[in-house]
Amino acid sequence: MKNIKLVARYDGTRYSGWQRQEDSDKTIQGKLEQVLRRMTGEETEVTGSGRTDAGVHALHQVANFKTADTRSPEEMKAYINCYLPEDIAITEAVEVPLRFHSRLNAISKTYMYRIWNAPYHDPFLRKYSLHIPQPRLKVKAMRRAVEYLIGEHDFTSFKTSVSKNKSAVRTIYDIRFEKNDDTLEIYIRGDGFLYNMIRIITGTLLEVGMGKLAHEDIAGILDSLDRSKAGPTVPPHGLFLIDVKYPDEALNI
Amino acid sequence: MKNIKLVARYDGTRYSGWQRQEDSDKTIQGKLEQVLRRMTGEETEVTGSGRTDAGVHALHQVANFKTADTRSPEEMKAYINCYLPEDIAITEAVEVPLRFHSRLNAISKTYMYRIWNAPYHDPFLRKYSLHIPQPRLKVKAMRRAVEYLIGEHDFTSFKTSVSKNKSAVRTIYDIRFEKNDDTLEIYIRGDGFLYNMIRIITGTLLEVGMGKLAHEDIAGILDSLDRSKAGPTVPPHGLFLIDVKYPDEALNI
C-alpha cells in the first residue's frame, strides 16, 4: 500500500465545490475519484486538505489517497491529467508516509481574494475577481484594519454559523495586500478557517476600504462575537486557495 | 462633429473576430456599434486599427468613431461599458482630431502569443494559451531564429494567401520572448501584419523550439516566398493584440 500526495489546481467556476456529493460530476473530489478509480481499479477515496466552496478556485489544493497501484507517482500524474477535465489539473504527485493525512497534518493554509477596482469590468478577470467599480478603495485603512485580526482570536463574528458548540478560535498568521494598477489581492494565512471566514473578513475589510467602517471598528466587531456586526460575505469567484503547508516530518518517508 | 478614439480590451473566445458581419452579435465591432448607436441615436460606424480573427483576444485594440453627441469622452466610456457584454470593455476614450483614422495612422502594432509548455494543461490559461505538453521548447534556438525575421522582408512565406497582387513586404521591428516557469510569451512588433502572419511565424518558431527546424532554416523559408515551407498556423486562442502606436501629431488636437 502506498500513500500518494497530490497538488491540484482548479477553476471552480462550474463546480459545486471540492467535496463529493451524490452527483460526482459536480465536485472536484468526485471528478478526481472517478479518474483514480479508473486508474487503480480500486474503490479509491481522496482526502482533501479542506473543502473549497462552490465557485472557489485553487492554485494549490492538497489531497492524498492510498492505493496498491504499482505506477510511479509521475506516471500517475500523467494518467490522471490525461483523464481530468481541462479545468482541473494535478501539478504534483509524490509518495508520502502512510500516516500522512492532508487535512489533519496541515499546519497552515493561505487564501487569496482578488478585487478588480476600476469603473469598467475586466474581460479576463471577470470570473476570477470581485468587481468594485467605485470608490477607489482606501488600502491604507485596510492595512491598519488587519492588525486587529492577526493572532489568535475567537472569530465567531466572521463565520457563517452551521455547527454551534465547536470552537471558533483560530490563528491568523499574516494578512498582506498586493496592489497592481486596478487589482487588489488580499492574502490571508492562518492555521485553519471557519465556514465563509475568508469571505466575511474580505467583505468587512472592503467596508473599511469604502469608508463605511473605520479601521478601529474591527476590534469591536471581533469582540462582539456577533456575525451581524461584520461585513457581507463576498462572492466565491474572487477566492483562491493558494497554499497548504505541512511539517517536514509528515511528508518525509 | 467630434472624433473619439477608444481603446478596447476583449476576450475573443465567443466572437467571430473584430470585423462586423451580418450577425452583429458575433463580432466585437458589431457589439460596439450596437451600443454606440444606442448612445448617439446616430448611424455610428466604428473604424478599428485592424481586424482580429475569430477567437483572438485584445488587451489594447484601438478604434475611432465620429459623432455629434455632446457627452464628454469620460461619460461616453461609462455609458459604453455599462451596455457592453462582460467580455468586452473600453479602457480609454479621448477626443482626437477629426482627421485621425485608427487604421491608416497606425505606425506599429504589437501582438503577443502565449504558449503553455508543461505536461499538464492549465485550468486558468487553457483558453488563453496554446498547450504544448512536450518537449520542453528550446528557447535559445528560437531566439536565434527570430534574427532572420527582424527588418523589412517579403513575408509571402508567412501569410495565408487571400489577395494576390498586394505587396507582402512588411517590417518587423522587434521580437522578444518572456519565459516564466511553464509559460512562454512571444511579443512581435511591426509596422503591420499580413493575414495569419503572426500565427504562422509562431508556428514556425515552435518548430525550431521543438527541434524540427534549425534556426538557420528560417532564412531559406523567408527567401522561398513559399507558404508551404513555413510551419503551421497556430490556433487563435493564444493570440493577443496588445498595443497599437500612433504618431503624436495624429492624436494631438
Report how far residue B47's alpha carbon sits from residue B37's, in angstroms, rounded to the nearest whole number.
Answer: 14
- Asked if residues A118 and A25 have their Cβ atoms less than 8 Å apart, the reply is no
B8-43 residue pLDDT tens: 999 999 999 999 888 878 999 999 999 999 999 999
Chain B, window 110-139: residues with a beta carbon less than 8 angstroms from a chain A beta carbon: 119-124, 126, 128
Report how far residue A151's alpha carbon sits from residue B77's, in angstroms, rounded to the nearest whole number.
Answer: 44
Report how far residue B75's alpha carbon sits from residue A38's, in angstroms, rounded to the nearest whole number.
Answer: 57
- Asked if residues B115 and B138 have their Cβ atoms less than 8 Å apart, the reply is no
Q: Taking CB atoms and an 8 Å cutoff, what residues of chain B touch A128?
A: 124
Number of H helices, E strands in chain A: 6, 10
Query: Is residue A9 within 8 angstroms of chain B, CB to CB?
Result: yes
- Chains A, B: CB contacts within 8 A come to 54
B58-106 residue pLDDT tens: 999 999 999 999 999 999 999 999 999 999 999 999 999 999 999 999 9
Which grid cell is B26?
A: 458575433
Q: Do B91 and A119 touch (CB under 8 A)?
A: no
Query: How large is the average pLDDT for residues A120-139?
Result: 95
What's the ipTM? Answer: 0.90
Q: Where are the domains of chain A?
A: 2-105, 108-243
Which is more confident, A22 or A6? A6
Minimal Cα–Cα distance from B90 to chain A, Å? 7
Query: Is residue B10 within 8 angstroms of chain A, CB to CB?
Result: yes
Query: Is residue B14 within 8 angstroms of chain A, CB to CB?
Result: no
Query: How large is the average pLDDT for residues B168-182?
Result: 96
Q: Which of B171, B199, B232 is nearest to B52 (CA)?
A: B199
Which grid cell is B113?
A: 502569443
Q: Taking CB atoms and an 8 Å cutoff, what residues of chain B touch A78?
A: 119
Report how far residue A109's alpha carbon sits from residue A94's, in angstroms, rounded to the nearest whole number.
Answer: 20
Which grid cell is B23?
A: 450577425
Alpha-carbon Rg for chain A, nearest whole angstrom, is: 19
Q: Taking CB atoms and an 8 Å cutoff, what residues of chain B touch A86?
A: 121, 123, 126
What's the whole-number average pLDDT of chain A? 95
Residues 6+ apart with CB under 8 A from B147: none
Q: Do A89 and B120 touch (CB under 8 A)?
A: yes
Query: Is residue B77 within 8 angstroms of chain A, CB to CB?
Result: yes
- Asked if residues B154 and B169 have their Cβ atoms less than 8 Å apart, the reply is yes
Q: Do B87 and A123 touch (CB under 8 A)?
A: yes
Query: Is residue A78 within 8 angstroms of chain B, CB to CB?
Result: yes
Query: How large is the average pLDDT for residues A193-202?
Result: 96
Per DSSP bridges, beta strands B130-131 and B108-116 are parallel
Question: Residue A87 catalytic?
Answer: no
B116-171 residue pLDDT tens: 999 999 999 999 999 999 889 999 999 999 999 999 999 999 999 876 668 999 99
Which grid cell is B20?
A: 462586423
Report how far residue B195's alpha carbon sits from residue A223's, in angstroms, rounded to the nearest whole number.
Answer: 65
Number of Cβ within 10 Å of residue B151's Cβ equals: 11
Q: Taking CB atoms and an 8 Å cutoff, what residues of chain B touch A9?
A: 122-124
Alpha-carbon distances of A138 from A129, A145, A177, A206, A216, rounded to whole Å: 18, 11, 12, 9, 14
Report how far residue B226's alpha carbon sits from residue A125's, in angstroms, rounded to the nearest whole number.
Answer: 41
* Closest chain A CA to residue B131: A86
Do the domains A2-105 and A108-243 sit in the same CATH topology, yes or no? Answer: yes
Minimal Cα–Cα distance from A128 to chain B, Å? 9
- Categorize the per-residue pLDDT at A115 as very low, low, confident or very high, splitting at 50, 70 and 90: very high
Query: Is residue A92 within 8 angstroms of chain B, CB to CB?
Result: no
Report how far residue B143's alpha carbon sits from residue B139's, in angstroms, rounded to the nearest whole number.
Answer: 6
Q: Which of A11, A23, A25, A53 is catalytic?
A: A53
B180-207 residue pLDDT tens: 999 999 999 999 999 999 999 999 999 9
The pLDDT value given to residue B165: 66
Q: Do A120 and B10 touch (CB under 8 A)?
A: no
pTM exceeding 0.90: yes
Backbone φ/ψ region at B115: left (φ over 0), alpha (ψ -120 to 50), beta = beta
DSSP state string for A198-230: HHHHHHHHHHHHTTSS-TTHHHHHHHHT-GGGS
- Categorize the per-residue pLDDT at B108 as very low, low, confident or very high, splitting at 50, 70 and 90: very high
Which is more confident, A187 or B253? A187
Q: Do B123 and A90 touch (CB under 8 A)?
A: no
Report how far residue B229's alpha carbon sits from residue A199's, in angstroms, rounded to the nearest whole number.
Answer: 55
Q: Which of B23, B53, B69, B223 is catalytic?
A: B53
* Interface test with chain B among A32, A121, A181, by most B beta carbons within 10 Å: A121
How many percent of chain A have pLDDT more than 90?
A: 93
CATH code given to domain A2-105: 3.30.70.580
The alpha-helical segments, DSSP class H, found in B41-164 are 73-83, 139-146
* Interface test with chain B among A35, A124, A239, by most B beta carbons within 10 Å: A124
Query: Is residue B89 within 8 angstroms of chain A, CB to CB?
Result: yes
Please determine, for residue A127, whether its predicted confidence score (pLDDT) is greater than 90.
yes
Q: Which of A180, A42, A25, A174 is nearest to A108 (CA)?
A: A174
Please determine, for residue A190, whether its predicted confidence score (pLDDT) is greater than 90.
yes
Q: Which of A110, A100, A28, A23 is nearest to A66 (CA)?
A: A100
The pLDDT value given to residue B21: 86
Looking at the partner chain, which of A57, A77, A121 has a beta carbon nearest the beta carbon of B81?
A: A121
Q: Do A120 and B86 touch (CB under 8 A)?
A: no
- Categorize the per-residue pLDDT at A164 as very low, low, confident or very high, splitting at 50, 70 and 90: low
Query: How would CATH label the architecture of A108-243?
Result: 2-Layer Sandwich (3.30)
The alpha-helical segments, DSSP class H, found in B8-119 are 28-40, 73-83
Q: Do A121 and B86 touch (CB under 8 A)?
A: yes
Q: Which of A153, A148, A151, A142 is nearest to A176 (CA)?
A: A142
- Categorize the per-residue pLDDT at A104 as very low, low, confident or very high, splitting at 50, 70 and 90: very high
* Class of residue A210 by CB neighbours under 10 A (exposed 0-12, middle 13-18, buried 19+): middle
Query: Is residue A181 within 8 angstroms of chain B, CB to CB?
Result: no
